[in-house]
Structure 1
Amino acid sequence: MRDLFFAVWRYRYFILSSIRNDLHVRFIRSKLGGLWMIIHPLAQVLIFALILSEVLAAKLPGIDNKYAYALYLMAGMMGWSLFAETISRCLNLFIDSGNLMKKMAFPRICLPLIAAGTMLVNNFLLLVAIFVVFAALGHYPSGQALWLPVLIVLNLLLAMSVGLILGVLNVFMRDVGQVVPVILQAMFWLTPVVYSLSILPVKYQFWFKLNPLHPLVTSYQNVLVFDKPPLWGELGWLAVASVVLALVALTLFRRASPEMVDAL
Protein backbone atom coordinates (compact mmCIF):
# COMPACT_ATOMS: atom_id res chain seq x y z
CA MET A 1 0.00 0.00 0.00
CA ARG A 2 2.89 2.32 0.77
CA ASP A 3 4.19 1.85 -2.78
CA LEU A 4 0.94 3.30 -4.12
CA PHE A 5 1.38 6.50 -2.12
CA PHE A 6 5.00 6.87 -3.22
CA ALA A 7 3.94 6.35 -6.83
CA VAL A 8 1.28 9.05 -6.51
CA TRP A 9 3.83 11.49 -5.10
CA ARG A 10 6.34 10.80 -7.88
CA TYR A 11 3.68 11.32 -10.55
CA ARG A 12 1.93 14.29 -8.90
CA TYR A 13 2.74 16.63 -11.79
CA PHE A 14 1.42 14.09 -14.28
CA ILE A 15 -1.84 13.91 -12.30
CA LEU A 16 -2.24 17.69 -12.14
CA SER A 17 -1.46 18.20 -15.81
CA SER A 18 -3.85 15.39 -16.75
CA ILE A 19 -6.66 17.03 -14.78
CA ARG A 20 -6.04 20.31 -16.59
CA ASN A 21 -5.89 18.60 -19.98
CA ASP A 22 -9.03 16.58 -19.27
CA LEU A 23 -11.01 19.71 -18.48
CA HIS A 24 -9.55 21.51 -21.50
CA VAL A 25 -10.29 18.70 -23.98
CA ARG A 26 -13.86 18.27 -22.76
CA PHE A 27 -14.77 21.85 -23.63
CA ILE A 28 -12.23 22.94 -26.24
CA ARG A 29 -14.82 22.91 -29.04
CA SER A 30 -17.65 24.30 -26.95
CA LYS A 31 -18.45 28.00 -27.02
CA LEU A 32 -19.80 27.92 -23.48
CA GLY A 33 -16.80 25.92 -22.27
CA GLY A 34 -16.85 25.01 -18.59
CA LEU A 35 -20.33 26.48 -18.14
CA TRP A 36 -21.73 23.16 -19.33
CA MET A 37 -20.47 21.61 -16.09
CA ILE A 38 -23.03 23.66 -14.16
CA ILE A 39 -25.75 24.12 -16.77
CA HIS A 40 -26.83 20.48 -16.73
CA PRO A 41 -27.36 20.10 -12.94
CA LEU A 42 -28.94 23.56 -12.65
CA ALA A 43 -31.30 22.75 -15.52
CA GLN A 44 -32.33 19.56 -13.74
CA VAL A 45 -32.97 21.56 -10.57
CA LEU A 46 -35.10 24.05 -12.50
CA ILE A 47 -37.21 21.28 -14.04
CA PHE A 48 -37.89 19.61 -10.70
CA ALA A 49 -38.53 22.95 -9.02
CA LEU A 50 -41.09 24.01 -11.62
CA ILE A 51 -42.89 20.67 -11.51
CA LEU A 52 -42.85 19.92 -7.79
CA SER A 53 -42.53 23.26 -5.98
CA GLU A 54 -46.29 23.82 -5.77
CA VAL A 55 -46.73 20.35 -4.30
CA LEU A 56 -43.96 20.43 -1.70
CA ALA A 57 -43.30 24.10 -0.91
CA ALA A 58 -45.88 24.16 1.88
CA LYS A 59 -44.21 21.18 3.54
CA LEU A 60 -40.78 22.68 4.08
CA PRO A 61 -40.89 24.33 7.51
CA GLY A 62 -37.82 26.23 8.63
CA ILE A 63 -37.16 28.08 5.35
CA ASP A 64 -38.44 31.66 5.33
CA ASN A 65 -38.28 32.14 1.57
CA LYS A 66 -40.91 31.86 -1.13
CA TYR A 67 -38.40 29.88 -3.18
CA ALA A 68 -37.95 27.41 -0.33
CA TYR A 69 -38.30 24.28 -2.41
CA ALA A 70 -35.83 25.45 -5.08
CA LEU A 71 -33.25 26.18 -2.35
CA TYR A 72 -33.83 22.79 -0.74
CA LEU A 73 -33.55 21.04 -4.10
CA MET A 74 -30.33 22.80 -5.11
CA ALA A 75 -28.66 21.89 -1.81
CA GLY A 76 -29.64 18.25 -2.18
CA MET A 77 -28.62 18.11 -5.83
CA MET A 78 -25.18 19.42 -5.00
CA GLY A 79 -24.55 16.48 -2.70
CA TRP A 80 -26.15 13.94 -5.00
CA SER A 81 -24.48 15.11 -8.23
CA LEU A 82 -20.96 14.76 -6.82
CA PHE A 83 -21.67 11.21 -5.68
CA ALA A 84 -23.52 10.04 -8.81
CA GLU A 85 -21.16 11.67 -11.33
CA THR A 86 -18.09 10.27 -9.56
CA ILE A 87 -19.55 6.75 -9.58
CA SER A 88 -20.46 7.08 -13.27
CA ARG A 89 -17.00 8.39 -14.14
CA CYS A 90 -15.18 5.63 -12.26
CA LEU A 91 -17.43 2.90 -13.66
CA ASN A 92 -15.87 3.09 -17.15
CA LEU A 93 -12.62 4.74 -16.12
CA PHE A 94 -10.30 1.83 -16.91
CA ILE A 95 -12.23 0.74 -19.99
CA ASP A 96 -12.07 4.23 -21.49
CA SER A 97 -8.37 4.47 -20.60
CA GLY A 98 -7.49 1.06 -22.04
CA ASN A 99 -5.39 2.37 -24.92
CA LEU A 100 -3.52 4.75 -22.62
CA MET A 101 -2.77 1.94 -20.18
CA LYS A 102 -1.38 -0.20 -23.00
CA LYS A 103 0.81 2.52 -24.54
CA MET A 104 2.18 4.34 -21.49
CA ALA A 105 3.98 3.14 -18.38
CA PHE A 106 2.60 4.97 -15.34
CA PRO A 107 1.06 3.97 -12.00
CA ARG A 108 -2.55 2.96 -12.70
CA ILE A 109 -3.64 4.58 -9.42
CA CYS A 110 -3.16 7.93 -11.17
CA LEU A 111 -6.33 7.36 -13.21
CA PRO A 112 -8.84 7.47 -10.32
CA LEU A 113 -6.98 10.43 -8.81
CA ILE A 114 -7.27 12.33 -12.10
CA ALA A 115 -11.00 11.55 -12.13
CA ALA A 116 -11.32 12.74 -8.52
CA GLY A 117 -9.56 16.00 -9.32
CA THR A 118 -11.86 16.63 -12.28
CA MET A 119 -14.92 15.93 -10.14
CA LEU A 120 -13.70 18.39 -7.50
CA VAL A 121 -13.32 21.16 -10.09
CA ASN A 122 -16.79 20.43 -11.46
CA ASN A 123 -18.30 20.47 -7.98
CA PHE A 124 -16.53 23.69 -7.04
CA LEU A 125 -17.95 25.46 -10.11
CA LEU A 126 -21.40 24.11 -9.29
CA LEU A 127 -21.02 25.35 -5.71
CA VAL A 128 -20.15 28.86 -6.93
CA ALA A 129 -23.15 28.82 -9.27
CA ILE A 130 -25.47 27.67 -6.49
CA PHE A 131 -24.28 30.43 -4.15
CA VAL A 132 -24.93 32.98 -6.90
CA VAL A 133 -28.44 31.61 -7.40
CA PHE A 134 -29.03 31.59 -3.63
CA ALA A 135 -28.08 35.26 -3.47
CA ALA A 136 -30.37 36.07 -6.41
CA LEU A 137 -33.24 34.35 -4.55
CA GLY A 138 -32.51 36.29 -1.35
CA HIS A 139 -31.04 33.42 0.66
CA TYR A 140 -27.61 33.67 2.27
CA PRO A 141 -26.19 30.54 3.97
CA SER A 142 -24.93 31.03 7.51
CA GLY A 143 -21.62 30.06 9.06
CA GLN A 144 -22.74 26.43 9.06
CA ALA A 145 -21.80 26.40 5.37
CA LEU A 146 -18.15 26.33 6.48
CA TRP A 147 -18.69 22.59 7.04
CA LEU A 148 -19.14 22.11 3.28
CA PRO A 149 -15.47 21.16 2.61
CA VAL A 150 -15.78 18.34 5.17
CA LEU A 151 -18.97 17.09 3.53
CA ILE A 152 -17.43 17.31 0.05
CA VAL A 153 -14.34 15.33 1.11
CA LEU A 154 -16.47 12.65 2.76
CA ASN A 155 -18.76 12.52 -0.27
CA LEU A 156 -15.84 12.16 -2.66
CA LEU A 157 -14.14 9.52 -0.48
CA LEU A 158 -17.30 7.41 -0.40
CA ALA A 159 -17.99 7.82 -4.11
CA MET A 160 -14.38 7.13 -5.18
CA SER A 161 -14.19 4.04 -2.96
CA VAL A 162 -17.39 2.56 -4.36
CA GLY A 163 -16.55 3.76 -7.88
CA LEU A 164 -13.08 2.22 -7.85
CA ILE A 165 -14.48 -1.16 -6.80
CA LEU A 166 -17.15 -1.00 -9.50
CA GLY A 167 -14.64 0.22 -12.10
CA VAL A 168 -12.33 -2.74 -11.48
CA LEU A 169 -15.22 -5.23 -11.51
CA ASN A 170 -16.56 -3.71 -14.73
CA VAL A 171 -13.31 -4.52 -16.52
CA PHE A 172 -13.86 -8.23 -15.92
CA MET A 173 -17.69 -8.33 -15.79
CA ARG A 174 -19.22 -5.84 -18.21
CA ASP A 175 -22.70 -6.47 -16.83
CA VAL A 176 -21.69 -4.25 -13.90
CA GLY A 177 -21.72 -1.26 -16.22
CA GLN A 178 -25.32 -2.00 -17.18
CA VAL A 179 -26.63 -2.58 -13.65
CA VAL A 180 -25.07 0.39 -11.85
CA PRO A 181 -27.01 3.16 -13.70
CA VAL A 182 -30.26 1.43 -12.77
CA ILE A 183 -29.19 1.25 -9.12
CA LEU A 184 -28.18 4.93 -9.14
CA GLN A 185 -31.56 5.90 -10.54
CA ALA A 186 -33.29 3.96 -7.77
CA MET A 187 -31.02 5.48 -5.12
CA PHE A 188 -31.85 8.98 -6.34
CA TRP A 189 -35.51 8.47 -5.51
CA LEU A 190 -34.69 6.71 -2.23
CA THR A 191 -32.58 9.71 -1.14
CA PRO A 192 -34.32 12.89 0.15
CA VAL A 193 -33.20 15.11 -2.72
CA VAL A 194 -36.49 16.15 -4.32
CA TYR A 195 -38.61 15.54 -1.22
CA SER A 196 -38.33 15.75 2.56
CA LEU A 197 -38.61 12.65 4.71
CA SER A 198 -41.15 14.51 6.83
CA ILE A 199 -43.78 14.08 4.09
CA LEU A 200 -43.49 10.29 4.30
CA PRO A 201 -45.45 8.13 6.78
CA VAL A 202 -43.48 7.65 9.99
CA LYS A 203 -43.42 3.87 9.53
CA TYR A 204 -41.43 4.30 6.27
CA GLN A 205 -39.01 6.99 7.42
CA PHE A 206 -36.85 4.51 9.33
CA TRP A 207 -36.19 2.45 6.19
CA PHE A 208 -35.32 5.51 4.11
CA LYS A 209 -32.84 6.59 6.79
CA LEU A 210 -30.92 3.34 6.27
CA ASN A 211 -29.80 4.75 2.93
CA PRO A 212 -26.12 5.72 3.49
CA LEU A 213 -26.63 8.85 1.40
CA HIS A 214 -29.42 10.12 3.66
CA PRO A 215 -27.16 11.71 6.33
CA LEU A 216 -24.84 13.09 3.67
CA VAL A 217 -27.49 14.79 1.53
CA THR A 218 -29.44 15.91 4.59
CA SER A 219 -26.27 17.49 5.97
CA TYR A 220 -25.82 19.46 2.74
CA GLN A 221 -29.39 20.72 3.13
CA ASN A 222 -28.86 21.52 6.81
CA VAL A 223 -25.78 23.69 6.33
CA LEU A 224 -26.93 25.40 3.13
CA VAL A 225 -30.62 25.94 3.80
CA PHE A 226 -31.74 25.26 7.38
CA ASP A 227 -28.81 26.87 9.26
CA LYS A 228 -28.23 23.60 11.15
CA PRO A 229 -25.08 21.55 11.71
CA PRO A 230 -24.43 18.33 9.80
CA LEU A 231 -25.71 15.02 11.18
CA TRP A 232 -22.41 14.23 12.86
CA GLY A 233 -23.55 11.00 14.52
CA GLU A 234 -24.60 9.34 11.27
CA LEU A 235 -21.73 10.91 9.34
CA GLY A 236 -19.22 9.42 11.79
CA TRP A 237 -20.35 5.91 10.91
CA LEU A 238 -20.39 6.81 7.23
CA ALA A 239 -16.81 8.09 7.46
CA VAL A 240 -15.65 4.83 9.06
CA ALA A 241 -17.45 2.82 6.37
CA SER A 242 -15.90 5.01 3.66
CA VAL A 243 -12.38 4.42 4.98
CA VAL A 244 -12.99 0.66 5.11
CA LEU A 245 -14.35 0.73 1.56
CA ALA A 246 -11.33 2.76 0.44
CA LEU A 247 -8.96 0.11 1.84
CA VAL A 248 -10.96 -2.64 0.16
CA ALA A 249 -10.94 -0.70 -3.12
CA LEU A 250 -7.18 -0.12 -3.02
CA THR A 251 -6.51 -3.78 -2.18
CA LEU A 252 -8.76 -4.97 -5.01
CA PHE A 253 -7.20 -2.48 -7.41
CA ARG A 254 -3.67 -3.50 -6.49
CA ARG A 255 -4.38 -7.19 -7.04
CA ALA A 256 -6.33 -6.72 -10.26
CA SER A 257 -4.10 -4.07 -11.84
CA PRO A 258 -1.63 -6.48 -13.53
CA GLU A 259 -4.51 -8.36 -15.19
CA MET A 260 -6.62 -5.39 -16.27
CA VAL A 261 -4.54 -4.59 -19.36
CA ASP A 262 -4.92 -8.15 -20.64
CA ALA A 263 -8.68 -8.06 -19.98
CA LEU A 264 -8.98 -4.80 -21.91
Structure 2
Amino acid sequence: MNQQLGELWRARHFIRTSIRNEFVSRVVRSRLGFLWIVLYPLAQVAIYAFVLSIVMAAKLPGLTTAYAYPIYLTAGILAWSLFAEIVSRSLNLYIENGNLLKKVVFPKLALPAIMTGSALLNNLLLLAAVLVIFAFLGHLPGAAIVWLPILMALLLVLALGVGLLLGLLNVFIRDIGQIVSIVLQFGFWLTPIVYNLELLSERYRHLLYLNPLTGIVQGYQDVLLYRQAPDLGVLIYPATCAAVSVVLAVWVYRRGIDDVVDVL
Protein backbone atom coordinates (compact mmCIF):
# COMPACT_ATOMS: atom_id res chain seq x y z
CA MET A 1 0.00 0.00 0.00
CA ASN A 2 2.91 2.37 0.74
CA GLN A 3 4.21 1.76 -2.77
CA GLN A 4 0.81 2.65 -4.24
CA LEU A 5 0.64 5.82 -2.13
CA GLY A 6 4.08 6.72 -3.44
CA GLU A 7 2.83 6.22 -7.01
CA LEU A 8 -0.16 8.40 -6.18
CA TRP A 9 2.13 11.17 -4.95
CA ARG A 10 4.25 10.97 -8.08
CA ALA A 11 1.08 11.21 -10.16
CA ARG A 12 -0.14 14.33 -8.33
CA HIS A 13 0.38 16.59 -11.35
CA PHE A 14 -1.58 14.19 -13.55
CA ILE A 15 -4.39 14.11 -10.97
CA ARG A 16 -4.52 17.90 -10.72
CA THR A 17 -4.53 18.27 -14.50
CA SER A 18 -7.28 15.64 -14.86
CA ILE A 19 -9.49 17.43 -12.33
CA ARG A 20 -8.96 20.74 -14.11
CA ASN A 21 -9.62 19.22 -17.54
CA GLU A 22 -12.82 17.56 -16.34
CA PHE A 23 -14.07 20.82 -14.90
CA VAL A 24 -13.12 22.87 -17.96
CA SER A 25 -14.71 20.30 -20.27
CA ARG A 26 -17.92 20.36 -18.26
CA VAL A 27 -18.09 24.16 -18.31
CA VAL A 28 -17.01 24.73 -21.92
CA ARG A 29 -19.38 22.17 -23.44
CA SER A 30 -22.42 23.73 -21.78
CA ARG A 31 -23.86 27.15 -22.49
CA LEU A 32 -24.76 27.64 -18.86
CA GLY A 33 -21.42 26.19 -17.74
CA PHE A 34 -20.84 26.90 -14.06
CA LEU A 35 -24.55 27.44 -13.40
CA TRP A 36 -25.35 23.75 -13.87
CA ILE A 37 -23.10 22.88 -10.93
CA VAL A 38 -25.21 24.94 -8.53
CA LEU A 39 -28.56 25.02 -10.32
CA TYR A 40 -29.82 21.53 -9.47
CA PRO A 41 -29.17 21.62 -5.68
CA LEU A 42 -30.55 25.17 -5.44
CA ALA A 43 -33.61 24.07 -7.43
CA GLN A 44 -34.13 21.32 -4.82
CA VAL A 45 -33.99 23.93 -2.09
CA ALA A 46 -36.51 26.11 -3.94
CA ILE A 47 -38.95 23.22 -4.47
CA TYR A 48 -38.87 21.95 -0.89
CA ALA A 49 -38.96 25.47 0.52
CA PHE A 50 -42.00 26.31 -1.60
CA VAL A 51 -43.84 23.14 -0.58
CA LEU A 52 -42.86 22.88 3.09
CA SER A 53 -41.79 26.32 4.31
CA ILE A 54 -45.20 27.22 5.74
CA VAL A 55 -45.28 23.98 7.76
CA MET A 56 -41.62 23.89 8.77
CA ALA A 57 -40.72 27.55 9.28
CA ALA A 58 -42.15 27.57 12.80
CA LYS A 59 -40.53 24.21 13.66
CA LEU A 60 -36.95 25.42 13.88
CA PRO A 61 -36.22 26.24 17.53
CA GLY A 62 -34.78 29.63 18.32
CA LEU A 63 -35.22 31.13 14.85
CA THR A 64 -37.69 33.74 13.72
CA THR A 65 -36.17 34.91 10.42
CA ALA A 66 -38.32 34.40 7.34
CA TYR A 67 -35.44 32.67 5.55
CA ALA A 68 -34.64 30.16 8.32
CA TYR A 69 -36.12 27.13 6.58
CA PRO A 70 -34.51 27.73 3.14
CA ILE A 71 -31.15 28.18 4.90
CA TYR A 72 -31.78 24.98 6.89
CA LEU A 73 -32.53 23.15 3.63
CA THR A 74 -29.50 24.58 1.88
CA ALA A 75 -27.15 23.47 4.65
CA GLY A 76 -28.44 19.90 4.50
CA ILE A 77 -28.42 19.67 0.71
CA LEU A 78 -24.89 21.09 0.59
CA ALA A 79 -23.69 18.16 2.71
CA TRP A 80 -25.87 15.55 0.99
CA SER A 81 -24.87 16.56 -2.53
CA LEU A 82 -21.18 15.95 -1.78
CA PHE A 83 -21.84 12.55 -0.23
CA ALA A 84 -24.25 11.45 -2.96
CA GLU A 85 -21.99 12.56 -5.82
CA ILE A 86 -18.96 10.69 -4.49
CA VAL A 87 -20.89 7.50 -3.76
CA SER A 88 -22.77 7.58 -7.09
CA ARG A 89 -19.64 8.20 -9.15
CA SER A 90 -17.68 5.57 -7.22
CA LEU A 91 -20.14 2.83 -8.20
CA ASN A 92 -18.95 2.71 -11.82
CA LEU A 93 -15.51 4.21 -11.31
CA TYR A 94 -13.63 0.98 -12.03
CA ILE A 95 -16.09 -0.36 -14.59
CA GLU A 96 -15.90 2.76 -16.75
CA ASN A 97 -12.10 2.96 -16.54
CA GLY A 98 -11.21 -0.68 -17.11
CA ASN A 99 -8.82 0.15 -19.97
CA LEU A 100 -6.81 2.50 -17.75
CA LEU A 101 -6.60 -0.05 -14.95
CA LYS A 102 -5.05 -2.60 -17.30
CA LYS A 103 -2.11 -0.30 -18.02
CA VAL A 104 0.85 -1.34 -15.90
CA VAL A 105 2.18 2.20 -15.41
CA PHE A 106 -1.16 3.73 -14.44
CA PRO A 107 -1.53 4.39 -10.67
CA LYS A 108 -4.88 2.80 -9.82
CA LEU A 109 -5.48 5.06 -6.83
CA ALA A 110 -5.44 8.05 -9.17
CA LEU A 111 -9.01 7.26 -10.26
CA PRO A 112 -10.64 7.79 -6.83
CA ALA A 113 -8.37 10.79 -6.24
CA ILE A 114 -9.50 12.46 -9.48
CA MET A 115 -13.15 11.64 -8.80
CA THR A 116 -12.97 12.96 -5.23
CA GLY A 117 -11.16 16.12 -6.28
CA SER A 118 -13.73 16.82 -8.98
CA ALA A 119 -16.67 16.28 -6.58
CA LEU A 120 -15.01 18.48 -3.96
CA LEU A 121 -14.44 21.26 -6.49
CA ASN A 122 -18.11 21.15 -7.51
CA ASN A 123 -19.16 21.29 -3.86
CA LEU A 124 -16.86 24.21 -3.10
CA LEU A 125 -18.34 26.15 -6.01
CA LEU A 126 -21.80 25.37 -4.67
CA LEU A 127 -20.69 26.55 -1.22
CA ALA A 128 -19.42 29.81 -2.71
CA ALA A 129 -22.76 30.38 -4.43
CA VAL A 130 -24.60 29.56 -1.20
CA LEU A 131 -22.52 32.03 0.81
CA VAL A 132 -23.28 34.74 -1.74
CA ILE A 133 -27.00 34.02 -1.38
CA PHE A 134 -26.69 34.01 2.44
CA ALA A 135 -24.92 37.37 2.29
CA PHE A 136 -27.75 38.75 0.16
CA LEU A 137 -30.22 37.48 2.79
CA GLY A 138 -28.14 39.00 5.58
CA HIS A 139 -27.25 35.65 7.13
CA LEU A 140 -23.52 34.92 6.96
CA PRO A 141 -22.33 32.11 9.29
CA GLY A 142 -19.63 34.25 10.92
CA ALA A 143 -16.71 32.73 12.83
CA ALA A 144 -18.44 29.35 13.06
CA ILE A 145 -17.53 28.71 9.43
CA VAL A 146 -14.06 27.59 10.56
CA TRP A 147 -15.74 24.29 11.50
CA LEU A 148 -16.96 23.69 7.96
CA PRO A 149 -13.66 22.31 6.56
CA ILE A 150 -13.57 19.79 9.42
CA LEU A 151 -17.13 18.66 8.69
CA MET A 152 -16.36 18.53 4.98
CA ALA A 153 -13.25 16.42 5.58
CA LEU A 154 -15.24 13.99 7.74
CA LEU A 155 -17.92 13.78 5.07
CA LEU A 156 -15.30 13.16 2.37
CA VAL A 157 -13.72 10.29 4.30
CA LEU A 158 -17.10 8.68 4.95
CA ALA A 159 -18.26 9.06 1.33
CA LEU A 160 -14.96 7.85 -0.10
CA GLY A 161 -14.83 4.81 2.18
CA VAL A 162 -18.42 3.80 1.41
CA GLY A 163 -18.14 4.68 -2.27
CA LEU A 164 -14.92 2.80 -2.99
CA LEU A 165 -16.08 -0.26 -1.08
CA LEU A 166 -19.31 -0.37 -3.08
CA GLY A 167 -17.49 0.46 -6.32
CA LEU A 168 -15.12 -2.49 -5.91
CA LEU A 169 -17.97 -4.86 -5.06
CA ASN A 170 -20.02 -3.56 -7.99
CA VAL A 171 -17.41 -4.92 -10.41
CA PHE A 172 -18.26 -8.45 -9.27
CA ILE A 173 -21.96 -8.00 -8.41
CA ARG A 174 -23.48 -5.51 -10.83
CA ASP A 175 -26.80 -5.44 -8.95
CA ILE A 176 -25.11 -3.39 -6.24
CA GLY A 177 -25.19 -0.30 -8.44
CA GLN A 178 -28.96 -0.54 -8.85
CA ILE A 179 -29.53 -1.25 -5.17
CA VAL A 180 -27.38 1.67 -4.01
CA SER A 181 -29.28 4.08 -6.29
CA ILE A 182 -32.49 3.11 -4.48
CA VAL A 183 -30.83 3.23 -1.06
CA LEU A 184 -29.60 6.77 -1.75
CA GLN A 185 -33.17 7.88 -2.43
CA PHE A 186 -34.27 6.47 0.92
CA GLY A 187 -31.13 7.85 2.55
CA PHE A 188 -32.07 11.39 1.60
CA TRP A 189 -35.34 11.11 3.51
CA LEU A 190 -33.74 9.25 6.42
CA THR A 191 -31.39 12.21 6.93
CA PRO A 192 -32.77 15.37 8.62
CA ILE A 193 -32.48 17.60 5.55
CA VAL A 194 -36.05 18.68 4.83
CA TYR A 195 -37.32 18.16 8.38
CA ASN A 196 -36.08 18.73 11.91
CA LEU A 197 -35.47 15.80 14.26
CA GLU A 198 -37.40 17.61 16.97
CA LEU A 199 -40.57 16.82 15.05
CA LEU A 200 -40.06 13.09 15.64
CA SER A 201 -40.68 11.07 18.76
CA GLU A 202 -37.60 10.13 20.77
CA ARG A 203 -37.84 6.53 19.58
CA TYR A 204 -37.56 7.42 15.89
CA ARG A 205 -35.03 10.13 16.61
CA HIS A 206 -32.64 7.55 18.05
CA LEU A 207 -33.12 5.35 15.00
CA LEU A 208 -32.17 8.18 12.64
CA TYR A 209 -28.97 8.73 14.60
CA LEU A 210 -27.90 5.30 13.32
CA ASN A 211 -27.48 7.07 9.99
CA PRO A 212 -23.92 8.49 10.15
CA LEU A 213 -24.95 11.38 7.92
CA THR A 214 -27.38 12.66 10.54
CA GLY A 215 -24.67 14.05 12.82
CA ILE A 216 -22.70 15.55 9.93
CA VAL A 217 -25.76 17.25 8.41
CA GLN A 218 -26.67 18.62 11.82
CA GLY A 219 -23.14 19.99 12.05
CA TYR A 220 -23.61 21.80 8.73
CA GLN A 221 -26.91 23.20 10.01
CA ASP A 222 -25.32 24.33 13.27
CA VAL A 223 -22.59 26.21 11.38
CA LEU A 224 -24.59 27.68 8.50
CA LEU A 225 -27.95 28.29 10.17
CA TYR A 226 -27.36 28.64 13.91
CA ARG A 227 -23.87 30.19 13.55
CA GLN A 228 -22.44 27.95 16.24
CA ALA A 229 -19.91 25.14 16.58
CA PRO A 230 -21.24 21.62 15.90
CA ASP A 231 -21.93 19.22 18.73
CA LEU A 232 -18.72 17.18 18.81
CA GLY A 233 -20.42 14.40 20.75
CA VAL A 234 -22.80 13.80 17.86
CA LEU A 235 -19.85 13.55 15.46
CA ILE A 236 -18.14 10.65 17.27
CA TYR A 237 -20.38 8.04 15.62
CA PRO A 238 -19.99 9.43 12.05
CA ALA A 239 -16.21 9.64 12.57
CA THR A 240 -16.16 6.01 13.71
CA CYS A 241 -18.22 4.93 10.69
CA ALA A 242 -15.91 6.90 8.39
CA ALA A 243 -12.82 5.21 9.85
CA VAL A 244 -14.37 1.75 9.62
CA SER A 245 -15.53 2.29 6.04
CA VAL A 246 -12.06 3.43 4.93
CA VAL A 247 -10.37 0.47 6.64
CA LEU A 248 -12.80 -1.93 4.95
CA ALA A 249 -12.34 -0.23 1.58
CA VAL A 250 -8.53 -0.45 1.87
CA TRP A 251 -8.73 -4.11 2.91
CA VAL A 252 -11.01 -5.01 0.00
CA TYR A 253 -8.87 -2.92 -2.38
CA ARG A 254 -5.64 -4.66 -1.39
CA ARG A 255 -7.18 -8.11 -1.67
CA GLY A 256 -9.31 -7.55 -4.75
CA ILE A 257 -7.81 -4.92 -7.07
CA ASP A 258 -5.96 -7.53 -9.15
CA ASP A 259 -9.17 -9.54 -9.52
CA VAL A 260 -10.97 -6.35 -10.53
CA VAL A 261 -8.51 -5.84 -13.38
CA ASP A 262 -8.94 -9.47 -14.47
CA VAL A 263 -12.75 -9.22 -14.46
CA LEU A 264 -12.71 -6.00 -16.45
Q: TM-score, normalised by structure 1?
A: 0.96
The one-letter code sitting in structure 1 at the alignment partner of 2:121 is V
Match of 1:178 in 2: 178
> What's the Cα RMSD here?
1.4
The one-letter code sitting in structure 1 at the alignment partner of 2:134 is F
Deviation digits for residues 220-263 of structure 1 (CA, Å, limit 9, x no counterpart): 00011012211211213322331232122122112221122221
Is 1:117 matched up with 2:117? yes
After TM superposition, the structure 1 = structure 2 runs for residues 1-264 of structure 1, keeping only pairs within 5 Å, are 1-102=1-102, 105-264=105-264
Following superposition, the deviation at residue 104 of structure 1 comes to: 6.8
2:66 and 2:239 map into 1 onto residues whose CA distance is 35
- Residues 26 and 103 (structure 1), Cα distance of their counterparts in 2 relative to 1, 3 Å cut: farther
1:23 and 1:99 map into 2 onto residues whose CA distance is 22
Following superposition, the deviation at residue 158 of structure 1 comes to: 0.3
1:200 and 1:111 map into 2 onto residues whose CA distance is 41
1:36 and 1:77 map into 2 onto residues whose CA distance is 15
1:247 and 1:9 map into 2 onto residues whose CA distance is 20
The secondary structure found in structure 2 opposite 1:226 is coil
The secondary structure found in structure 2 opposite 1:257 is helix
Q: TM-score, normalised by structure 2?
A: 0.96
1:157 and 1:39 map into 2 onto residues whose CA distance is 26
Deviation digits for residues 175-224 of structure 1 (CA, Å, limit 9, x no counterpart): 00000011111111011000001111233211112211110000000011
Deviation digits for residues 2-45 of structure 1 (CA, Å, limit 9, x no counterpart): 11211111111111111111112223310121221111111111
1:182 and 1:171 map into 2 onto residues whose CA distance is 18
Unaligned runs of at least 5 residues, structure 1: none
The one-letter code sitting in structure 2 at the alignment partner of 1:147 is W
1:94 and 1:242 map into 2 onto residues whose CA distance is 21
Unaligned runs of at least 5 residues, structure 2: none
